[in-house]
Structure 1
């Protein structure tokens, strides 16, 4: 059984999406299918086929979310003592030693990741390189542009 690590906020986002899919999206799709059936011949009815395809995607996503939520492992770092170690859920500020750029990442689960908001997946190369390291460590991480050295300048359990 695969455990899915997730922050409390990430689990809540999935529950909200699941609720929306079941209570709003599913009934809309059922209504679309019923309307498309009224138009006659189903073999050549593009609206019907589009609605059925939409239904398939929706049901697949519902099953996917339910599976993850049934095996979720919620990790709340705010209840842990900050010992400066980078773990799942921590917010890490790193200094790029090549260009002196500083960036802050929060390490989250796959479903929560959003690089635009500096939320990186636990399975990303940067997160894997940072996990287990501590404050002031220098880490060499392989990126698509080559190896980059980062210094961990701050670790927050927020």
Structure 2
């Protein structure tokens, strides 16, 4: 039987993790959640809390390797997976679709890009220490919009 890989797509604060956790809670024996936030906290705790290490693109590459390995291991063991990362850019979506195909899993996209940027900023502000901040959300939104505009020919 084919497994399902759910890919969330949206800005920080769009509700991706909340929805993912709810989905897993409906059948925790057969479902799991994987995301780079948890992996980053595990691999690079000092970089994320302002410690001596500075967060870098090398750290992000390592995190993605672990996320992909976890997704693949879970799918191959018969567990459906939701990855609550943003997946805002097309090349990230394509890479995870290829991962799903290698694991004989059906990729499903939960597109949450319709959540207003101001709503995302307000939700993020309620996170306290886990907040990534208004500037970062606005920057991600601009990158997403520029790719969407180029793709749509607008």
Q: Same fold (TM over 0.5)?
A: no
| TM-score bin (small chain) | under 0.3
Compare relative contact order (CA 8 Å, sep 6+) and give the higher one, 1 or 2. 2
TM-score by length of 1: 0.21
Query: Which of the pair is proportionally richer in helix?
Result: 2
Q: Larger Rg: 1 or 2?
A: 1
